[in-house]
Chain A
Amino acid sequence: MQFARLFERVQEFAKSGVHKLRMVGLSTIHGVTLVIDLQDVTKTYRGGVQALRGVSLRVQSGEIFGLLGPNGAGKSTLVKIIMTVVRPTTLTGTVLGRPACTQEVLSQVGYLPEHHRFPQYLTGRQVIDFFGALAKVQRTERKARTEELLEMVGMRDWGNRRVTTYSKGMQQRIGIAAALINDPRLVVLDEPTDGVDPVGRREIRDMLLRIRAEGRTVLVNSHLLSEVEMLADRVAIINQGRTLAQGTIEELTHDSHRYEIDAINGPASIQTAVGEVTGMPSAAEPGLRTYVIPTRDPAVVQPAIDALRAAGITLTRVERARETLEDLFVRSVVDERGRAMPGAARGPGTPTAPPIVAPPRTPSTSTSSTSTPSTSTPSTEARP
């Protein structure tokens, strides 16, 4: 009798699916599964160059995560540490639930490095097959999957040509296919659209969305902000070896929501619900003033509009605005004097602002663009 009850409980547990996460040992935080959970990653190269000074990174399962930063910020070093190409000085955390930077993780990770170099004597098909074999994919599976992937990246008709005959875009496609040959749960792409024409970039973007739709997690390292803004569910901005900001674009730009009102011959300042707002005269159009009201609540703006209209002032524009990813990026990596902060450096480096880190979103509550930071999701209009 007791055995029967125990059996029932085991069956219930198996049906619940909870055990799956526990079995693979993925980290969770606030109920969100983390594919990459790294803390305090530091890397000091020989000669004392500090590439990373305590980076933390949390990439959630099934998302496209953008890693941003200026040149020399430490992005590539971080990616290479995840892929065991570079050894960290210090590191705690996990990748796919296992200790980071270990061989056992790599069989479930696909990687396309920046400036990759395929053996020139191989065809596209052979490249995919070779890297599949290195990832311990068995021959029959490799063969079938190579065909699937060639089809997916649109290279089926070119698969038997040597990679030396390929354009940059074609090489990137083959690289993406090679990264996917082992059916990875995590795909790490370093500048996947670098050097690719706009049409090729769009195709690669579509591929990444398809990869995410298959349930894989994608970590994209890129300096093309517009690309990342279109693709990424969440981003991290790294500079001088530190994580400056991390979260959804919505979360990170939450405080920058504002309304802008353009008025012809408006007063120097107007009274609003959030206090007095000074209008900035337009340099392009004489007599035009722009009032910026820092709020995301349209109700707050209405009294100001009413007051201006009552005074007979003509309004030419009322627009809801917020920071773009580029604004956020520039704000994060530029110092008070407007100069770009240097990347990796010797010694302790200049102190930077405390990191902007948004708590991970909970998938079940990610519905509204006006929700609180802890439950918000990137605006759907940001996606292609």
Chain B
Amino acid sequence: MTQTLAIFLDAYRDLNSRKLFWLAIGVSMLVVLIVGALGIDETGVSVFTFHFDSKFVNTLFFPRDLFYKMIFQNLGINIWLTWLAAILALISTASVVPELIANGSIDMMLSKPITRHRLFLTRWVTGLFFAGIQAAVFVTASFLVIGFRGGAWEPGLFLAIPVVIIFFSYLYCFCALMGVLTRSTVASLILTLVFWLVLFGVQKAEQFLNNGRIGSQMEVVAIEEAIEKRLEKNADADVDKLRMELTAERRSAERWSSGYWPAYALVTALPKTNETTEWLARTLVRAANFRRPANEDEGMRFFASARVKRKDFEQTVYDDAEERKGATWAIGSSVIFEAVMLGGCVWLFRRRDF
């Protein structure tokens, strides 16, 4: 315990000495303060003492609490915590492993009665400190703003802290592995950002294929219903054209499916950054009475048609995600990937001569 506390205290001192740490905390607070400075009433919105009339952004359309929750969701989670703050955290902590194994530093550490795997894992966990402190500061401040300004006290909001740490840990385990392999802070940071980009691309591709698969299946069902309806009205009705459409759509649905499942398998094997934050957004609907996140993916409209309404399509995609992409899939399988990465790190760290 003495050793673990010492390593954590050292990590805190390290963070404390970095300007970037305080800059990130400062920006987090500033973002929340700006949100807190926003006000909403029946006639519009206000910033500090300036009032702007609005026919759409007012409490008649948005209850006061929902206004702040939406800002937290769209700005806080989707942009700040899962992108900007995560990048700042990566920049700040990418050096933890390369500095640990740097010549002169590692000799001092390994000559102490602490096992290599414990040393490495404890140091790695301290790297999550940054993301943890940053998320805790931001979420706590947001909780207070939503409470005082929105009048809704939602302790479920604090679920965001562990989820953001887990989200960051997906990237940070890869960063640690690159740190062990390259011994370079810059290389491990760049490779991690590239890895993140690849993950983003793979997940987006999977989502696109999933949308296509679901859209196509809905189209098949809609055509089948249309044929049934027509035949119900008139048994001798000409449905050949519809049947031809159905055959073509079924073929299309098969193609979407055959493309989708390999992508799904790949995404399942990899850490799911997007899916984890989306899971958090869905969970906050239940845990903190958030409004169901609006799907702002304009690509959705391509999968809607005259037979499949966009709203129905979005609902089906949402339900599908709720059913298949729960915490076990989004977080559980990502943590397995993380465990494999960390296992690799520890294996290399234990075997290496320094």
Contact = CB atoms under 8 A, between A and B. Distances in A.
Contact of B111 (A87, A113, A118, A122): A113
Interface in A93-148: 103-104, 106-107, 109, 111, 113-122, 126, 130-131, 133-139
Interface string B6-33: 1101100110110000000000000000
A197 B351 CA distance: 38
A139 B107 CA distance: 23
Given A85-B353, A134-B6, A115 B103 contact: yes
Contacts of A109: 111
A374 interface: no
B13 A121 contact: yes
Contact of A83 (B2, B10, B105, B110): B110
A116 B111 contact: no
B83 interface: no
A80 interface: yes
B112 A113 contact: no
Given A116-B104, A117-B103, A111 B111 contact: yes
A25 to B, nearest CB: 17
Given A109-B111, A113-B107, A134-B114, A80 B354 contact: yes
Contacts of B7: 134
A84 B3 contact: no
Contacts of B354: 80, 85-86
Contacts of A139: 2
B102 interface: yes
Contact of B16 (A106, A113, A121, A133): A121
A45 interface: yes
Contacts of B9: 130, 133
B10 A111 contact: no
B133 interface: no
A103 B354 CA distance: 16
Nearest to B5: A133
A83 B6 contact: no
A85 B103 contact: no
A242 B352 CA distance: 23
A171 to B, nearest CB: 11
Contact of B108 (A103, A104, A131): A131
Most buried by B among A85, A107, A126: A85
Interface in B73-121: 102-115
Interface string A153-190: 00000000000000000000000001000000000000
A136 B107 contact: no
Nearest to A117: B104
Contacts of A133: 2-3, 5-6, 9
Given A106-B111, A134-B109, A119 B14 contact: yes
Contact of B353 (A86, A107, A114): A86
B10 A130 contact: yes
B10 A116 contact: no
Interface in B295-342: none
A115 B9 CA distance: 24
Given A80-B353, A119-B105, A130-B10, 7 more contacts: A84-B110, A85-B111, A107-B113, A109-B111, A126-B13, A130-B6, A133-B2
Interface of B: 2-3, 5-7, 9-10, 13-14, 16-17, 102-115, 351, 353-354
20 contacts: A80-B107, A83-B107, A85-B106, A86-B353, A86-B354, A103-B113, A104-B113, A109-B111, A111-B111, A113-B104, A115-B104, A116-B104, A116-B108, A117-B108, A119-B14, A130-B6, A133-B5, A134-B3, A135-B112, A136-B2
Interface of A: 45, 80, 83-87, 103-104, 106-107, 109, 111, 113-122, 126, 130-131, 133-139, 178
For the complex of A and B, the 10 pairs showing the least CB-CB separation, nearest first, are A133-B6, A121-B17, A117-B104, A113-B107, A134-B112, A111-B111, A83-B111, A106-B113, A86-B353, A107-B113
